[in-house]
Structure formats: structure tokens, C-alpha cells
């Protein structure tokens, strides 16, 4: 694989599992030094990267905690000296209930991680990139940021807001050589979706049937879109919310 990110530094939140793990590995395969941040101390992503000859650092961080996020970015610079790419991916699905039954606790938790977490990360990442005079950020939203999903009011609200936040930050930095985009995954086979389906074959089949392509996506297929959005290949793309969804939104 071409080492297009040789000497570059990438930070991926929620990098222990799922889409974040696949993204961290995809960066490392292209030569980047990778910071894997997660609130669960699972070193499998970092070990996989190191075993393949790459460079990676695990940082424990809850993205909804200001101090944790500041420390995560500080450790990135301390260890690797720059921050070229940031993927603000950490997120949770929260509980399932209609809007009028959604608990305040669930609302605060989902918005705290999925929305405030992305904002906090950008709040600390963008000043570093401004200082460097360059950078590229990808926020992981969802097709639930583009259309409604009954039963997931907090999740849907958080992902719609991430898209608005992405557009705004992109415009604020458009002339400053920092591009900021979002990806909107469809149904991707990750631990999150396994929790939702309970790995029940009938439920999984129902989700597969909802996808126009007739299957769930793989985390690596989202990672490829994130890599493209970070790379110079997408140099004229900013403020975009790219669906990686097997055609879901096209219906
Ligand atoms: P996942 O649950 O498999 O992985 C999420 C990762 O984020 C885990 O490693 C988890 O420990 C970490 N995380 C959660 N809360 C955190 C916090 N507060 N601080 C730090 N780390 C935290 O989920 P996934 O499917 O890989 O989802 C990744 C992102 O993609 C999420 O933002 C999710 O909303 C979004 N997404 C997923 C799907 C899908 O179908 N899987 C679809 C659309 C969007």
C-alpha cells in the first residue's frame, strides 16, 4: 500500500473498536503515526498496528470530558510533534424510546458524547492545526444525521447537530487550509450494531434487507472514505457530509 501518510500524525477517537479501529489501522497502513483514543482501555488496535511494523499510541480519554480531551491532544503533540488528521468518531447509540419517553439521563449522555464530544475535540484540535497552518478533520455522523429514526431521538438529534457543527467549523476555517468534513455511515457491522441486533440472525437479516445493497457495510469500507476525506485527494472538499451507506439515503 502507498505510504501517503508517511511522517504524518493521525488521531482517532473511539479507536478501540468498530469503525475507529478500522480507521486507525488504515492510517497506519499508509504510514501515519496513530493516536488511538478511547474510554475503554483496550490495546488490540495499537498492538495490531505495532505487530505490522507501524507506530501507535493508546490514550485513555472520555471525549465528553474537557480535561481528558485537552490531555489527549497534548499527549499527541508531546509524543509525535504534530496533528495532521483528526477523526472524531467516538459515539454511543443510547437507549431506544420515542421522544416523549426518552429519559433526561439518556438525552444528556448521548448528546454529551456524540455532540459535545465532537465539539470538544475540535476545540482542542483546530488551534493546533491553525498553528501548523494545515490539517484535515473528519467527524463521524450517521445517516441518522440526515433522516429521522423513530425510537432514537437523542442519537438522531446528536448526529444532525454534528453535521451542522461540521459545516460551521468548515466555513470558519475554509481559508485557513483546514478542511472539515463528516461521514454518514449506514448500517455497519460493528460492536454497536451487534448490541442493537443482539446478534439475532432474524434481526440482522431485517437490517440487511433495509440496505439497498442487501448487506451491512464493513468498518473498513467507512475507513476508506475517511482516509480519502483526510487525504490531499479530496483537497477541494470541505463542509461535506458524505453518506457511506449502501444506498440508504438514495431511496
Ligand atoms: P462501536 O460501539 O463499535 O465503537 C465505538 C467506539 O467508541 C468504542 O471503541 C467505544 O469504546 C468508543 N467510545 C464510546 N464512547 C466514548 C467516549 N465517551 N469516549 C471515548 N470513546 C468512546 O461503534 P461504531 O459502530 O464503530 O461507531 C463509531 C461511530 O460511527 C459512532 O459515532 C457511531 O454513532 C457512528 N455510526 C455507526 C454506525 C453503525 O452502523 N455501526 C452507523 C452510523 C454511524
ipTM of predicted complex: 0.99
Report CA(13)–ligand 1 centroid distance (Å).
9
**Could you give the residue numbers annotated as active site?**
155
User: Does ligand 1 come within 6 angstroms of the Cβ of 112?
Assistant: no
Using a cut of 0.95, tell me whether the model's pTM lies above it.
yes
> Does 192 sit in the ligand 1 pocket, CB within 6 Å?
yes
**Average pLDDT, integer, range 74-96:** 98
What are residue 14's phi and psi, to 5 degrees? 65, 35
H or E stretch at 179: strand 178-185
- pLDDT, residue 1, reads 87
What is the average per-residue pLDDT within 130-138?
98
Of 35, 74, 37, which Cα lies nearest the Cα of 54? Answer: 35
Q: Measure the CA–CA gap between 212 and 217, rounded to whole angstroms.
A: 11
Amino acid at each position: 500500500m502507498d505510504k501517503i501518510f508517511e511522517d504524518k500524525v493521525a488521531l482517532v477517537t473511539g479507536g478501540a473498536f468498530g469503525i475507529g479501529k478500522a480507521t486507525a489501522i488504515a492510517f497506519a497502513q499508509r504510514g501515519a503515526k496513530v493516536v488511538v483514543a478511547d474510554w475503554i482501555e483496550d490495546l488490540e488496535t495499537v498492538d495490531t498496528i505495532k505487530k505490522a511494523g507501524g507506530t501507535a499510541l493508546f490514550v485513555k480519554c472520555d471525549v465528553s470530558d474537557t480535561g481528558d480531551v485537552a490531555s489527549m491532544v497534548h499527549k499527541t503533540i508531546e509524543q509525535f510533534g504534530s496533528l495532521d488528521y483528526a477523526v472524531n468518531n467516538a459515539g454511543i447509540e443510547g437507549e431506544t424510546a420515542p421522544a416523549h419517553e426518552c429519559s433526561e439521563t439518556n438525552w444528556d449522555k448521548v448528546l454529551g458524547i456524540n455532540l459535545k464530544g465532537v465539539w470538544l475535540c475540535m476545540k482542542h484540535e483546530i488551534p493546533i492545526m491553525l498553528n501548523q497552518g494545515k490539517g484535515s478533520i473528519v467527524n463521524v455522523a450517521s445517516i441518522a444525521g440526515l433522516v429521522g429514526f423513530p425510537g432514537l431521538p437523542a442519537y438522531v438529534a446528536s448526529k444532525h447537530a454534528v453535521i451542522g457543527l461540521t459545516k460551521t467549523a468548515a466555513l470558519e476555517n475554509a481559508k485557513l487550509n483546514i478542511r472539515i468534513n463528516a461521514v454518514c455511515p449506514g448500517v455497519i457491522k460493528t460492536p454497536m450494531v451487534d448490541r442493537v441486533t443482539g446478534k439475532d440472525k432474524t434481526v440482522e437479516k431485517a437490517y440487511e434487507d433495509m440496505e439497498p445493497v442487501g448487506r451491512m457495510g464493513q468498518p473498513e469500507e467507512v475507513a476508506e472514505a475517511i482516509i480519502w476525506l483526510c487525504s490531499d485527494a479530496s483537497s477541494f472538499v470541505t463542509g461535506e457530509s458524505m453518506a457511506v451507506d449502501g444506498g440508504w439515503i438514495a431511496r
